[in-house]
Amino acid sequence: MKIFVAAVIALSSLAAQAKDTVRIAFIGPLTGGNSAIGLGGRNSADLAVRQRNANGKAKYQYELVVMDDECKPDAGVQVATKAGSDRTIVAGVTHYCSVVAMATVDTFHRFGLPTIVWGAVLPDITYANDYKEIHRVNGTMINQNESNAKFMSEHGFKNIAVIHDTTDYGKGHDKYFTQFIGKDGGKIAGDFGVTADQQDFTAELTQIKGLNPDAIYFGGLTPIGVRIRAQMDKLGIKAQFDGTSGIVNDDFIKALGPLAEGTVAFREGASAEKLPRGKEFLEAYNKQGYTNPPEAYGPFAYAAAGLLMDTIEKSGPDRKKIIAELAKVKDRDSIVGTITFDDHGQNTVPVITKYVVQDGKWVAWEDSDYARGKRKLIGK
Amino acid sequence: MKGTLWAALSAFAAGAFAYLLLRAESQTAIAVLLAGASVVAVVAARVRKRSALRKTAATAGGAASRPTATADSAASLPAARTAEPASRERMALALFVAAMVAVALLLREDDFALLLVARVLIAIIACLGLNVQFGYAGVVNFAGASFFGVGGYTAAVLSHSTHWPHLLLLFIGGVAAAGAGSLLLLPVLRTRGHYAALVTIAFALLFRTFLEVNDALGGPQGLKLKEMTMGPLHFNDPIELGAFEGSFYLRYVLFAVLLAVLFYLLVQRVERSFIGVALDAVRLDEIAARCFGLSLARWKIAAFTLGNFVVGVAGALSAFLVGFIAPNNYAFSESLLFVAILLLGGMGNPRGLAVAAAIVIVVPEKLQVIQEYRFLLFSALVVAVLVFKPAGLLPRPMRRLP
Amino acid sequence: MSLIGQYLMNGAMLGMMYALVAVGFSLFFGVLDVIQFSHGDVVAAGAFAGLIAWKGLTALGVQAPALLLLGVLAAAGIATALLGVVFARYVVMPVRSAPALNVLLVTLMAGTVLRECIRLFYPSGSQPQRFPALLPSTGWDFGGFHLRFDNVILLTSGALLIAATHVLITRTRLGLAIRAVAQDEETARIMGIDLKRVVLITFALGSVLAAFAGVMDGLYYNEVFFEMGLLLGVIGFAAAILGGLGNLYGAIFGGFLFAALQTIGAVALPFASAYKDVFAFGVVILLIAIRPTGLIGERASERA
């Protein structure tokens, strides 16, 4: 016991000598089916904190408190309560899963904890409430699908089959894409919901084959995206594969090999590879030796953590002041493009980047051989 | 007298331990506390075993010699020990409840700790229900989380579409769960063992997919609940009584304690009554039970329905507590957690449940530091406990014939 | 018409995989009267072991697909056989006298351990991994029906494997011992059968079948995932139960039946295809209610 007390005293005196420590929460799915993205987000936020701490000019020493929401609302509310009720935590970078983000907005509001959502895309998270605590750096699925539908109809894909997983992510994408493609003069040939742990899609795909669409739109994440694309090939379906932000990661390409070529997908935010700071981020990330890649939403977690720390440097580690300061965020430069929060804390300038797989890499559409006409999308 | 003192002491110790663990933040402190608890548990088990041996040696007859601590002790006829006399037992219960309430009051401003306590209590209530099915009647139910979900969804939908008092909604949640269970009655009655397990597993998988696909119930995006109110009580307002201030979760905890005690007494009553004896008979030997004129169907239906009712009530309360429900909460893996609580606690023993529920809910939470390795460690832990202590931590005490 | 051919082929592939997994469940139940619920995750482990072997062999410069395939199968088989033996010896045997429920939970949790290990320790294991196409991918088009050569090979070899298992069980001394233990353990022991040995061999055998199912899954879908065993395990179990536990034919029949139900649910019924699992499991519940000991009944007697 004595040793224990001594250790505590020693530790606290050590901290007192250095800068004040400020604690920030990171919440995301670290276990289960979505853990790849959660771990990528965690590593990216961790990187942001490390870089800040290495920077001698920072006023505070930052500590990232990592929590697992398991992509389940009850677990999410539990860790949100933990973060919110812990007064040493002044802000949070929170949630990839939309259901969890929906479940926790009330909790964060109750505890007055300023949070920035780093990956959940459901519009309601910021727009269905007036909570000043909730912000979001990434765009909503509305923005993404608007661009997607426009792109598809512009490139002459009019007859489109939709496969989406039955989670909030997939269903939301299905809803907005269907809405926008209708406006743009396209037609949905068939709409298929599949469960997120499904292995075999041959039954659905055989039906789609009968419908003979120009393209298959897929709303969902990498694991089943890979399966669907691979099984399309097995059944000899020759249609353009069009995905959402959930498949924009290296694993999609690694898992499919040459089959991934020509897949298009859309993601909010500027492409990290194109911005100078984005490149630095990727290099630093690789140097840190994390075992998981940052995945599609890593840059957002990094940007959110960075934005929070910038704010804290200005306002001091006080929840209310941070909220006031975050409301002023306008035209702030970040690795995912400029950030401006509207009254709902939503980033209003979400750039949507169009991606296409070319030679085993996600390439921004404008820079690709496809846009230059050197290669052609399937069926065009 | 000595017994009362012991009970008071152990209630105090349990309360103090719970308080320390819930407040503990540093990893060292948590590790020390958990290690300490395991040592105490092992030592206590040793001491108890030795004294039990001495007692059997003293009574010498050997007729009622306890089966050695093999796995079979849970399955063999609970024939010995009416435990303590009823009055003393009631006293012990009261002491433990007092200790828990005291802990809750001490923690009154710590929202997070109170939320955890509330979730443990709700898990205890749900498992009390499952215990009637598994532990007494021997009806397996791997769809616990589904019935929990039926209760939750019922409460969520009704809290929006009606102005019925929320206390009534909890009750209706239970009734709805029991009703949903009746869909499975026929297959559950007709099958046994693994076949019955499959029926409930299939139901659990089917139920979750159904919730996700079906938009009428909010689909995958889930449903928000209204704040729980009971008369003038608004559960989500912070508590301010003069100088006394407390987290809003305190109300939930106190209410959950009340419900847990009620259901504990109910379940205990059932066990001690002729119903309990009938259920034991049905579980242990169907043919013998039938020979004695017991209707298997009637008792199994009774146990299955009562159990689902309790689970449903717990589910409804949980939905109000979290304030939001979605299909992800009611997956098959959640049902497994309930089963894990039951088995770890020692099938058929409501007291073991309390310990096991606390372990299954609080330990993974306190393991947050190891982040993504949490689930791996937890599963390995459960395997280890079940391999080395097949009857659970606190197996059901034997029934002693008067 | 051509679509029907396609559906039949899809269903047959699925059914074969389910049947291979279900046969394992049935074998284990036969000798030990337990459900080895980590079996699905053993399937995944087999696929990943095969994948590692493929990576190793290609790194060594092996090019010939036949050689690679042999290496993949051998690695998957050996790894799962070992896993099966380890699970049997250290997880299932110690708890076999405990209530059936304990065994179910212990093996489920052991499966979780295995699954989490793949997720955490295989490089970026939480994402799907590409499985190489080692079989010729040529095929024939019959109108809209695309018959692929590799599917034919997989289907045939799966059938051969099941037939071989059948011969092993019914025609060899080892099979005799397995059947003896399944029928009456005590008598079998009195007859001088080494129970432990027979149990371990049976678990190794069942797990090798799982390995083949895993590799088949990988070759068919060209993709493996750490969670692939989860649903496969439950479905295999459901198939074994549907057919009647301890009955090999029942397991095979159950596997194909479940695949048929899924296909019908996705295609032929007037609701969204997402309901197909709701439909398939609903029918399973119904069938079990009608035939409580499986369609091809387990020999049921009240008192053994």
Q: How confident is the model over A33-60, as pLDDT tens digits? A: 788 889 999 999 999 999 999 988 888 9
Q: Do residues C211 and C49 lie in contact, with contact meaning Cβ atoms separated by under 8 Å?
A: yes
Task: Check pLDDT > 60 for residue B281.
Answer: yes
Q: What is the per-residue DSSP string for A64-76?
A: EEEEE-TT-HHHH
Q: Cα–Cα distance between A37 and C127 in angstroms, integer? A: 9
Going by pLDDT thresholds of 50, 70 and 90, the confidence category of residue B61 is very low
* pLDDT value of position B79: 41
Going by pLDDT thresholds of 50, 70 and 90, the confidence category of residue B59 is low
Query: What integer best gives the mean pLDDT of chain A?
Result: 87
Q: Do residues A135 and A332 lie in contact, with contact meaning Cβ atoms separated by under 8 Å?
A: no
* pLDDT value of position B328: 85
Q: Do residues A133 and B355 lie in contact, with contact meaning Cβ atoms separated by under 8 Å?
A: no
Task: Check pLDDT > 60 for residue A7.
Answer: no
Going by pLDDT thresholds of 50, 70 and 90, the confidence category of residue B57 is low
Q: Angle B321-B326-B331 (CA atoms, 0-180°, nearest 5)?
A: 105
Closest to C216 measured CA to CA, from C42, C29, C80, C50: C50
- 8 Å CB contact of C126 and A36: yes
* pLDDT value of position A12: 52
Q: Which amino acid is at A330?
A: K
Q: What is the pLDDT of residues A168-184, one digit of tens each?
A: 888 889 999 999 998 88
Q: Which of B21-25, B205-209, B379-383, C202-206 has the lowest mean pLDDT?
A: B21-25
Q: Cα–Cα distance between C275 and C298 in angstroms, integer? A: 30
- 8 Å CB contact of A71 and B328: yes
More confident residue, C136 or A91: A91
Among partner residues B29, B115, B221, which is closest to A168 by beta-carbon distance? Answer: B221
* pLDDT value of position A14: 52
Among partner residues B198, B287, B383, which is closest to C288 by beta-carbon distance? Answer: B198
Mean pLDDT of C220-227: 87
Q: Regarding beta strands A264-268 and A352-358, do their DSSP bridges make them parallel or antiparallel, or are they unpaired?
A: antiparallel
Q: Cα–Cα distance between C21 and C207 in angstroms, integer? A: 9
Beta strands in chain A (DSSP E): 21-28, 61-68, 89-94, 115-117, 134-136, 159-165, 187-194, 215-219, 240-243, 264-268, 352-358, 361-364
Residue B75 pairs in a beta bridge with none
Q: Angle A121-A124-A128 (CA atoms, 0-180°, nearest 5)?
A: 155
Task: Check pLDDT > 60 for residue B72.
Answer: no
Task: Check pLDDT > 50 for residue B310.
Answer: yes
Closest to B136 measured CA to CA, from B266, B260, B284, B261: B284
More confident residue, C225 or B69: C225
- 8 Å CB contact of A103 and B322: yes
Q: Nearest residue on chain A to B372, judged by CA atoms?
A: A30
* pLDDT value of position C81: 95
Q: Cα–Cα distance between A245 and A350 in angstroms, integer? A: 13
Q: What is the pLDDT of residues A207-224, one digit of tens each?
A: 898 889 999 999 988 888
The structure tokens listed for C187 are 């008598």
Mean pLDDT of B349-375: 79
How many Cβ contacts (< 8 angstroms) between chains A and C? Answer: 109
Q: Angle A185-A190-A196 (CA atoms, 0-180°, nearest 5)?
A: 120
* pLDDT value of position A3: 54
Closest to B402 measured CA to CA, from B277, B223, B222, B244: B277
* pLDDT value of position B13: 81
Residues of B in contact with C288 (CB under 8 A): 187, 190-191, 195, 198-199
Going by pLDDT thresholds of 50, 70 and 90, the confidence category of residue B62 is very low
SS3 call for C199:
helix
Q: Cα–Cα distance between B261 and B97 in angstroms, integer? A: 8
Q: Do residues B350 and B131 lie in contact, with contact meaning Cβ atoms separated by under 8 Å?
A: yes
Helix (H) or strand (E) segment spanning residue C236? helix C228-243
More confident residue, C273 or A186: A186
Q: Cα–Cα distance between B200 and B196 in angstroms, integer? A: 7
- 8 Å CB contact of A78 and B119: yes
Q: Regarding beta strands A61-68 and B239-241, do their DSSP bridges make them parallel or antiparallel, or are they unpaired?
A: unpaired
List the chains bordering chain A where 3 or more Cβ pairs fall under 8 Å.
Answer: B, C
Q: What are phi and psi of B95, to 5 degrees?
A: -65, -45
Query: What integer best gives the mean pLDDT of chain B?
Result: 82
> A202 — contact with chain C (CB < 8 Å)?
yes
Among partner residues C127, C130, C267, which is closest to A257 by beta-carbon distance? Answer: C130
Mean pLDDT of A245-264: 88
Q: Do residues A68 and B372 lie in contact, with contact meaning Cβ atoms separated by under 8 Å?
A: yes
CA B32 to chain A, closest CA, distance in angstroms equals 10
The structure tokens listed for A88 are 């040493």
- 8 Å CB contact of A73 and B326: yes
Residue C237 has, within 13 A of its CA and on its CB side, a CA count of 27
Q: Other CB atoms closer than 10 Å to residue A287's CB: what's the count? A: 9
Task: Check pLDDT > 70 for residue B401.
Answer: no
Closest to C287 measured CA to CA, from C249, C252, C261: C261
Distances (CA, A) of A268 to A148, A333, B204, C90, C216: 11, 15, 36, 50, 38
Residues of B in contact with A166 (CB under 8 A): 209, 212-213, 219-220
CA dihedral sign, ordered B4, B5, B10, B15: positive
Q: What is the pLDDT of residues C44-83, one digit of tens each?
A: 999 999 999 999 999 998 888 889 999 999 999 999 999 9
- Residue A375 is classified by DSSP as S
SS3 call for A346:
strand
Among partner residues A200, A223, A234, which is closest to C148 by beta-carbon distance? Answer: A234
Going by pLDDT thresholds of 50, 70 and 90, the confidence category of residue B154 is very high
The structure tokens listed for B268 are 């205990």
Q: Nearest residue on chain A to C2, judged by CA atoms?
A: A210
Q: Cα–Cα distance between A127 and A333 in angstroms, integer? A: 23
The structure tokens listed for A187 are 């037609």
Mean pLDDT of A280-305: 88
Q: What is the pLDDT of residues C176-219, one digit of tens each?
A: 998 888 888 888 888 888 888 999 999 999 999 999 999 999 99
Q: Nearest residue on chain C to B185, judged by CA atoms?
A: C289
- 8 Å CB contact of A103 and B119: no
- 8 Å CB contact of B111 and A81: yes
Mean pLDDT of B210-225: 84
> A71 — contact with chain B (CB < 8 Å)?
yes
SS3 call for A61:
strand
The structure tokens listed for C71 are 């290496």
Q: Nearest residue on chain A to B330, judged by CA atoms?
A: A72
* Terminal Cα distance for chain C, rounded: 51
Residue C160 neighbours by CB under 8 Å, 6+ apart? none
CA A203 to chain C, closest CA, distance in angstroms equals 6
How many Cβ contacts (< 8 angstroms) between chains B and C? Answer: 138
Residues of A in contact with B222 (CB under 8 A): 73, 99, 102-103, 168
Residue B12 has, within 13 A of its CA and on its CB side, a CA count of 6
* pLDDT value of position A265: 93
Torsion of CA B288, B289, B295, B300, to 10 degrees: -120
Q: Cα–Cα distance between B69 and B398 in angstroms, integer? A: 13
Among partner residues A8, A72, A170, which is closest to B328 by beta-carbon distance? Answer: A72
CA C293 to chain A, closest CA, distance in angstroms equals 28
Going by pLDDT thresholds of 50, 70 and 90, the confidence category of residue C1 is low
Residue B262 neighbours by CB under 8 Å, 6+ apart? none
Q: Cα–Cα distance between A328 and A315 in angstroms, integer? A: 12
Query: What integer best gives the mean pLDDT of chain C?
Result: 87
- 8 Å CB contact of C284 and B193: no
Residues 262-291 of chain A with CB under 8 A from chain C are 291
Residues of A in contact with C222 (CB under 8 A): 230, 234, 256, 259
- 8 Å CB contact of C106 and B186: no
Among partner residues B198, B287, B390, which is closest to C241 by beta-carbon distance? Answer: B198
Closest to B338 measured CA to CA, from B76, B117, B134: B134
Q: What are phi and psi of B345, to 5 degrees?
A: -70, -25
* pLDDT value of position B71: 39
> C5 — contact with chain A (CB < 8 Å)?
no
- Residue A268 is classified by DSSP as E
- 8 Å CB contact of B375 and A31: yes
Closest to A105 measured CA to CA, from A138, A66, A135: A135
Q: Which amino acid is at C271?
A: F
- 8 Å CB contact of A78 and B372: no
CA A307 to chain CA mean position, Å: 16
* pLDDT value of position B86: 67
Q: Angle B119-B122-B125 (CA atoms, 0-180°, nearest 5)?
A: 155
Torsion of CA C235, C239, C241, C244, to 10 degrees: -170
Going by pLDDT thresholds of 50, 70 and 90, the confidence category of residue A5 is low
Residue where the block lists tokens 């082929």: C9
Q: Angle B113-B116-B122 (CA atoms, 0-180°, nearest 5)?
A: 145
Going by pLDDT thresholds of 50, 70 and 90, the confidence category of residue A104 is very high
Q: Which of B132-141, B142-151, B230-239, B256-265 has the lowest mean pLDDT?
A: B230-239
Task: Check pLDDT > 50 for residue B58.
Answer: yes
- 8 Å CB contact of B111 and A8: no
Q: Do residues A327 and A321 lie in contact, with contact meaning Cβ atoms separated by under 8 Å?
A: no
* pLDDT value of position C55: 92
- 8 Å CB contact of B71 and C294: no
CA C271 to chain B, closest CA, distance in angstroms equals 11
Distances (CA, A) of A30 to A40, A69, A258, B119, C31: 9, 7, 30, 21, 39
* pLDDT value of position B399: 66
- 8 Å CB contact of B112 and A86: yes
Residues of C in contact with B215 (CB under 8 A): none
Residues of C in contact with A203 (CB under 8 A): 7, 10-11, 262-263, 266-267, 273, 276
Q: Other CB atoms closer than 10 Å to residue B53's CB: what's the count? A: 12
Length of chain C: 304
* pLDDT value of position B65: 40
CA C258 to chain B, closest CA, distance in angstroms equals 12
